[in-house]
Chain A
Amino acid sequence: MSLLAANLLHYGFMRRALLAAVLVGLAAPAVGIFLVQRRLALIGDGLGHIAVTGVALGLVLNRAPVPIALVTAVVGAVAVELIRARGEQSAEIALAILFYGGIGGGVVLVSQAPSGTRSLNQYLFGSISTTTSGDLRTFAILAAIVMVVAVGLGGALFSVSNDDEFARASGLPVMRLNLLLASLSAFTVVVSMRVVGVLLVSALMVVPVAAAQLVARSFRMTFVIGIAIGVTVSLAGVLVSYYADTPSGGTIVLLAIAVFALLLIAKNIGRLLRRA
């Protein structure tokens, strides 16, 4: 097995894919836990849709799509938060238009790109062979920012996600914290671009956290277990993807769902046994 691992690490693209997997496995649940607690579990999905336009723009302009997607996702995330903050009846529809505009615009744009839709697929659903060293540097910086903020400002992000009315009454800068969380979500979408894909990253924000909360008894424990699950399934997904020749994003998400299902079954068996 270790021989196998040594062989794998011999390939530069595998080293980069595995490192990228660790980064997204760390960042996605670390942000996702606050989104889930805010009952905005699907917002990452919307940001992924918006990022598609950024990726397509990069492909059309024949420039590195990662930085362009980063700008698009952050602008999109801030727009989403500002629309939500207005809290009007029409906010949900405005968000839907933004999200579908993002993916619609992306698909149309990319049809004009020299590389065509084939390369778009890799960004949407992940591919292990595509991570460049430049990408990896960007991912490492973004993931580091995500982790430092999620841990350092964890208390405030928790308060806002848990009860934003109370947070406002306590004098916390709720709007700024929400914009910060939105930006962290956008960063995470970008970190996911290579191995998970922007259309599947939301699953990695939500499913490891959903699995963790089945067994954890506190927010902190959910945070730690969620990240552990995120890193584990990301690494395992990249390896399975290599051997089984499957797209890495889908593989990672299916593994995360499998962990969720196993923990759910284990929890229910445990409950039955305790009752018996």
Chain B
Amino acid sequence: MTTSGTPADAATTSVIRVRDGRFGYGNQTVVSADLEICAGEVVALLGPNGSGKTTLLKGVLGLVDRLGGSVELFGRPIGEFRDRSLIGYVPQRQTAAGPIPVTVQELVRSGRLARTGLLRRRTAIDNATISSAIDAVGLQGKAREPIATLSGGQQRRALVARALAGGAQVLMLDEPLAGVDQENQDALAIALGALVDAGVTIVVVLHELGPLEPLVSRAICLDSGRVLFDGALETAPPTLLHLGHDHDPHGGPAPHRPRSGMKLFP
């Protein structure tokens, strides 16, 4: 049984397989999909608001009701899949702060529970992984700062670090760029780029590709709860890629920059 996605078998290991999956709430199906994602891929789930991309992401994670079909994670049916630390989830949050002050380190540490379980005490290895997750998103020096004192974009990166702290091999991000300024979008893109280089599989729900475009190898375009396109980003019909931003909601500079102009890996 293959349960790990080391770089050697990266090309062939199926990390996510959805067969005739139908996901939603109660008895209402929001999205149907049939797809397989292999280790090392960088997959963007694209589509307009209400297209079902977030529900699909949550469906794969078992966070919404599965109304039909099957989900396999690392080759195991989701009900039998125990090694949750292999998958890091980055929910869409406007803020990572709650009523009580929480430091970056405390937040990221909570992501390590997927690996340590409820009772085991943290070892030096656990602490080192937590530190390197914070470093990986460029928040070193902020570890002891309360989350609420960070900018929205930095908070989003802290959520990515939390997802990495368990030692995730697959990162599932929900709209990580929404409401984040350009500088932090670029910082996030650099962090994710380094993870891709390290062999991490990425599934990311996006409204628009933005600075993540050079990283994305595959696009899955959804509309009205159905997959309209699934294939290499270069072959995706431009109309589908542009579904998300017929208007620029922030009124800022054009989100698309020439791909040749991006220097993510100097």
Contact = CB atoms under 8 A, between A and B. Distances in A.
Interface of A: 33, 36-37, 39, 41, 152-153, 155-156, 158-159, 161-163, 165-173, 209, 213, 216-222
Contacts of A209: 100
A81 to B, nearest CB: 18
B141 interface: no
Given A169-B61, A218-B146, 16 more contacts: A37-B98, A152-B119, A158-B110, A159-B110, A162-B110, A163-B96, A166-B110, A166-B162, A169-B87, A171-B82, A171-B84, A172-B114, A217-B101, A217-B145, A219-B101, A222-B101
Interface of B: 61-63, 82, 84-85, 87, 89, 91, 93, 96, 98-103, 106-107, 109-111, 113-114, 118-119, 144-146, 162, 166
Nearest to A172: B113
B203 to A, nearest CB: 13
B118 A156 contact: yes
B106 A169 contact: no
Given A158-B106, A166-B162, A219-B106, A39 B113 contact: no
Contacts of A220: 106
What does DSSP make chain A's interface, helix, strand, loop or mixed? helix
A33 B118 CA distance: 19
Contact of A170 (B106, B113, B146): B113
A155 B162 CA distance: 13
A165 B82 CA distance: 17
A173 B162 CA distance: 18
A219 B103 contact: yes
Nearest first, the 8 closest Cβ-Cβ pairs linking A and B are A171-B84, A170-B114, A169-B89, A159-B110, A218-B103, A156-B118, A219-B102, A169-B61
